[in-house]
Amino acid sequence: MTNASPSTIKGTGVVSGVAYAEAVWVRPRPDLPTAGEPIEESRRDSEYDRFLEAVDIVASRLEQRAAGADGQAAEVLGATAGMVKDRGWHKAVRKGIRAGKSAEYATVCATDKFVTMFEAAGGVMAERTTDLKDVRDRVIAELRGEQEPGLPLVEGEAVLFAADLAPADTATLDTAHIKALVTELGGPTSHTAIIARQLNIPCIVAVGARLREIESGELVFVDGAVGTVRLGVDPAESRKAVEEYREKAARVAQWRGPAETKDGYRVQLLANVADGNAARIASDSQAEGIGLYRTELSFLSASEEPTVDEQARIYAKVFNAYPHSKVVVRTLDAGSDKPISYATLTSEENPALGVRGLRVARDNEALLTRQLDAIAQAAAERGEDAPTWVMAPMVATSTEAKWFSGLCRERGLTPGAMIEVPAAALMADTIMPHLDFVSIGTNDLTQYTMAADRLSPQLAYLTDPWQPAVLRLIRHTCVVGRDNNVPVGVCGEAAADPVLACVLTGLGVNSLSAASTAVAGVGAQLAEVTLEECQKMAEAAIDAEGPTEARASVFKVMEQFKN
Ligand code: PEP
Ligand code: MG
């Protein structure tokens, strides 16, 4: 793209695609007030009236937006308006004001009380606390005469800019208007990235403080594949690039599996799911089966271990979505960022390096065998055409692989392991002989290879799945897989990136499993390259100095294929 002086700001691209539109900042949440001076007794009634006025304005604004929206967006806005008008909450605010608190501070205290109650109730109630805080922030901004926080109303097209996005900000996000997301913080596995992947719009995270240099209203060109936000670019060329991207998106929508490269090399494309509902959604996509069923996500709010029968019923819902295809079930990956009350140690200094995944079962084998019994029970009716594979998370040694494999085989299950600890990749030749397959978890493999917390926005430049160090471990695993005749899959976020998926195929990966919304993009991209081209892309990435260089040199190699 040419221009006198376009300036470029770089972040981590997490969903590819381009957009050219005005930047619109999500308005920040207000700073919360502290106690301050008590309100004089004579002014307390009018202070409460001031609160009620703010409540009316916020509720009617939300109702107006609900009336103009439809489907889930209208429901969310209507429900939020309902919370603003909640009498119990008003009563708690009134009590605070009568005790001398300002309307703003009484709003904070009353909300805190409800948040504590909802958190104690757990489950769906606990999930509502973000919405309660959202309501609190809107009312406080109104009381102060400030702009309403959160998503601004967008009429034309816009690129949404934010420090980071909360679930409440994204519930009503309309892709007819919002064409891309760019955030200062976040990482490849943050909420923003997950939402962008679901909505399938270009997304860049972890841009850092320089993003603040761009103001609402400025025209920006966003490229999610390389992670750049550019100002001052030529409008005609930008629009042409967007047009080409839209044509490509249309081709993706038309793409039908099963996946193969231009020269007919088959790559199995599978879906990552968390429960039966996600599995049903996946079965409507082009995913051939399930490559990662994260069982622990069904039990995050369970206080007691479900019985074998209860578990079997939960797993059967996932199997039923794919009655004639492969399903890979992962045993409980409890611990670290997924604590499960009945399985995880409560206090660990360093939980990501602690007793998580398969390690939990070392002192509690029965927890694992009950889960395997439940999986075997749920899979009992599945036919020859519907293989059930079971893999353990966080395997680090051949002893662990052998132990897990024995427990699976005793129950007639096909055993495998995730390769997500660098030691497992390096020692793959000792681990694979015990197993029938492996699946590389690039999210954790990157975290542990780079010694960088996958949840840290400051370290997103390290937790990039394009890190050549990670790609080298993947290449080694594929070589050992081929020698041992053990299929090697990838089920981390790396498999959702269409160009990186070609690199992985070139490295020798046999199957790719990603969010079901990403599958068609990967399949369409694979159809445009040959196996030999994938191998050249893999070489270019492996030889690069870092992730940015790897992307750049792979894109350069791809340009050469076109000529
Ligand atoms: C991974 O680590 O890449 C993976 C697929 O597992 P999770 O993201 O659930 O840790
Ligand atoms: Mg993992």
pLDDT for res 73: 62
Q: Residue 104 — φ and ψ, nearest 5°?
A: -65, -50
pLDDT digits (tens, 9 = 90+) for 20-51: 999 999 988 888 998 888 999 999 999 999 99
Residues 341, 447 within the same domain: yes
Domain span at 130: 41-144
Cβ-based neighbours of 126, under 8 Å, separated by 6 or more: 118, 119, 301
Residues 241, 282 within the same domain: no
For residue 397, what is the DSSP state?
Answer: S
Residues 273, 295 within the same domain: yes
Q: Which range has the worst mean pLDDT, 49-58, 74-83, 429-438? A: 74-83
Residues 436, 472 within the same domain: yes
Q: Which of 197, 232, 251 delimits the end of a domain?
A: 251
Ligand nearest to the CA of 512: 1
What DSSP string runs through 437-474? EEEE-HHHHHHHHTT--TT-GGGTTTS-TT-HHHHHHH
Q: Are 390 and 414 in contact (CB under 8 A)?
A: yes
Residue 397 lies in a domain: yes
Q: Which residues are annotated as a binding site for phosphoenolpyruvate?
A: 294, 330, 443-444, 454
Residue 493 lies in a domain: yes
Residue 170 lies in a domain: yes
The Cα 55–Cα 334 span in angstroms is 42
Residue 486 lies in a domain: yes
What's the CATH number where 110 sits? 1.10.274.10
Residues 17, 80 within the same domain: no
For residue 326, what is the DSSP state?
Answer: -
Residue 499 lies in a domain: yes
3-state secondary structure of 338: strand
pLDDT for res 172: 67
Task: Calculate what percentage of the chain has a pLDDT beyond 90.
Answer: 67
pLDDT for res 1: 42
Residue 282 lies in a domain: yes
Q: Which of 115, 144, 173 delimits the end of a domain?
A: 144
Dihedral sign computed on CA atoms, order 246, 247, 253, 259: negative
Could you tell me the strand order of the sheet in which 203-205 lies? Answer: 7-10, 228-231, 219-223, 18-25, 158-162, 178-183, 203-205, 12-15
Instruction: Say yes or no to pLDDT of 4 above 60.
Output: no
The Cα 155–Cα 178 span in angstroms is 9
Tell whether pTM > 0.95: no
Asked if residue 111 has its Cβ within 6 Å of ligand 1, the reply is no
Residues 97, 205 within the same domain: no
Helix (H) or strand (E) holding 108: helix 103-121
Which of 443, 464, 473, 477 to mutate for ligand 1's pocket (most ligand atoms within 8 Å of CB)? 443
Ligand 1 centroid to residue 290 C-alpha, Å: 14
Look up 491 and say whether it is catalytic.
Answer: yes
Provide the pLDDT confidence category of residue 71 given band limits of 50, 70 and 90: low
User: Of 351, 373, 510, 539, nearest to 438 (Cα)?
Assistant: 510
Q: Which of 100, 126, 144 delimits the end of a domain?
A: 144
pLDDT for res 69: 67
User: What is the average per-residue pLDDT within 104-124?
Assistant: 87
Provide the pLDDT confidence category of residue 443 given band limits of 50, 70 and 90: very high
Instruction: Say yes or no to pLDDT of 3 above 50.
Output: no
The Cα 209–Cα 8 span in angstroms is 14
What DSSP string runs through 348-359? -S-GGGSS-GGG
Look up 534 and say whether it is catalytic.
Answer: no
User: What is the average per-residue pLDDT within 70-93?
Assistant: 83
Residues 425, 369 within the same domain: yes
The Cα 319–Cα 313 span in angstroms is 10
pLDDT for res 504: 98
> Which residues, in sequence order, are bridge partners of residue 268?
511
> Which residues, in sequence order, are bridge partners of residue 269?
512
The Cα 412–Cα 389 span in angstroms is 10
pLDDT for res 70: 65
Cβ-based neighbours of 350, under 8 Å, separated by 6 or more: none
Asked if residue 491 has its Cβ within 6 Å of ligand 1, the reply is yes
Active-site position among 478, 491, 502, 534:
491
Ligand 1 centroid to residue 429 C-alpha, Å: 22
Ligand 2 centroid to residue 444 C-alpha, Å: 5
pLDDT for res 248: 86
Residues 274, 132 within the same domain: no
Q: Are 272 and 513 in contact (CB under 8 A)?
A: yes
The Cα 550–Cα 541 span in angstroms is 4
pLDDT digits (tens, 9 = 90+) for 469-519: 999 999 999 999 999 999 999 998 899 999 999 999 999 999 999 988 889
Q: Are 222 and 19 in contact (CB under 8 A)?
A: yes
User: Of 179, 165, 187, nearest to 221 (Cα)?
Assistant: 179
Provide the pLDDT confidence category of residue 227 given band limits of 50, 70 and 90: confident
Residues 61, 177 within the same domain: no
Instruction: Say yes or no to pLDDT of 384 above 80.
Output: yes
Residues 101, 214 within the same domain: no
Asked if residue 296 has its Cβ within 6 Å of ligand 1, the reply is no
Instruction: Say yes or no to pLDDT of 54 above 90.
Output: yes
Residues 186, 277 within the same domain: no
Round the average pLDDT of the chain to a whole number and report it: 91
What's the CATH number where 306 sits? 3.20.20.60
Asked if residue 188 has its Cβ within 6 Å of ligand 1, the reply is no
Instruction: Say yes or no to pLDDT of 263 above 80.
Output: yes
Domain count, the chain: 3
Ligand 2 centroid to residue 203 C-alpha, Å: 22
Residues 277, 417 within the same domain: yes
What's the CATH number where 234 sits? 3.50.30.10
pLDDT digits (tens, 9 = 90+) for 335-368: 887 888 888 877 888 989 999 999 999 999 999 9
Please tell me which residue, 340 or 259, carries the higher pLDDT value. Answer: 259
Q: Are 520 and 529 in contact (CB under 8 A)?
A: no
Take atom 8 of ligand 1 and give the residue whose Cα is closest: 443
Residue 464 lies in a domain: yes
Residue 457 lies in a domain: yes
